[in-house]
Chain A
Amino acid sequence: MSASNGNRLTPEEINRYSRHVTLPEVGVSGQEKLKAASVLSIGAGGLGSPIGIYLAATGVGRIGVVDDDVVDISNLNRQIAHSTESAGQPKVETIRKRMLEINPLIRVDIYNTRLTRENALELFSQYDIIVDGSDNFQTRYLVNDAAYLTGKPLIYGSIFRFEGQMSVFHPHREGPCYRCLYSNPPPASLVPS
């Protein structure tokens, strides 16, 4: 993920990211790494909304968002990328609109489809890092397996009621994967819907 010449910051970008580039831990070179990076975000819901917004604002150069759902009013208490007027529209459309409102200097690729075993490997191979904001066990295991099989680091998070979990799975380098923690999903009848 080193920045090539095409990822040199423009004066406009230096200005936009000035609070980053003045941090020694980031600097111009760090901001160029962000510009060169690509991240695929699974889901545009409760977790995917702030993930997409923050990654866009931070200046990650290319962000993909996968979600096949449409905005419902009952989503809006937590899925902050969407708005009341976007009810009924595909979530990926409204999150892209919001992300580009915040930062038009990045690229947002949207996939208005369900992530499946047929499309996951091909999609994952086009990105550096996978972020899982999905809300069901089928997708979570699929994301874990596809990230491992394509060698991509996976940012895992899940929320239930008032509690959340987060980890980073990069078993090719070190540490466990999601299956190391949970080798099997809970019985279907115990999964809250």
Chain B
Amino acid sequence: MATETIKLILGQGEPLIGRLMLYDSLRMQFRDVRIRKDPNCELCGENPSITELIDYEAFCAVELPAPSGQSPEELDAAAVEISAADLKSIIESGQSMTLLDVREPHEWEINRIDPARLTPLSKFEQFISELNREDEIYLYCYKGKRSLTALKQLQEHGFKNLHSLAGGIDKWAEEVDPSMPRY
């Protein structure tokens, strides 16, 4: 961070603008991913709603909506989980299916499973109306927990044909696609 500061002052080198550097000290790996301006950003987007400082305590105190029924832990995970190998065969069979990645955009930047669509859990409600109840829907996240939370939300909206990738994309990278970058 000090180096980036000094580069900006000197006007030398390539600053980290538009890139997110990820550092993993256990694996001793550095990775940088491209990051883009969000045209809908509430601060720097085209129609900003934040034009002065706000109440940050309140902004950060927001909780997930209280679970109306079971929590994801109480969900019968085994009944809806699918292994990485099984998901791979379903994708390769070409049968009709919807694959949703419920991670956040910065994770999607790092890796993804084709033909997934990005529907982050933090904004998941807004995507639900775009989904078809008749479809076979497969969800995945990083480790397989957030996808169960999303699956639960879909159940509450009356969806039936739901599956969650056990162990998430991390398991997928480990077992099915070793060439995939992991984080």
Interface residues of A (CB under 8 A from B): 1, 25-26, 30, 33-34, 37, 39, 47, 50-51, 54-55, 58, 60, 117, 120-121, 128-129, 131, 133, 136-139, 141-142, 144-146, 148-149, 153, 155, 157, 162-171, 173-177, 179-185, 187-189, 191
Contact = CB atoms under 8 A, between A and B. Distances in A.
Interface residues of B, number: 52
Contacts of A185: 59-60, 62
B113 to A, nearest CB: 21
B64 A25 contact: no
Given A120-B53, A121-B53, A171-B37, A176 B18 contact: yes
Contacts of A58: 2, 6
Given A144-B43, A188-B61, A181 B106 contact: yes
Interface of B: 1-6, 8-13, 15-26, 35-38, 41-45, 50-57, 59-64, 104-106, 122-123
Contact of A177 (B26, B41, B60): B41
B145 to A, nearest CB: 11
Nearest to A136: B60
B3 to A, nearest CB: 8
Contacts of A166: 1, 4, 16, 20-21, 23
B35 A175 contact: yes
A117 B50 CA distance: 13
B18 A174 contact: yes
Given A39-B5, A171-B43, A179-B44, 14 more contacts: A60-B9, A129-B8, A145-B43, A148-B43, A149-B51, A163-B25, A165-B20, A167-B35, A170-B15, A180-B41, A180-B45, A183-B122, A183-B123, A184-B122
B35 A149 contact: no
Given A25-B10, A33-B9, A55 B2 contact: yes
Nearest to B43: A179
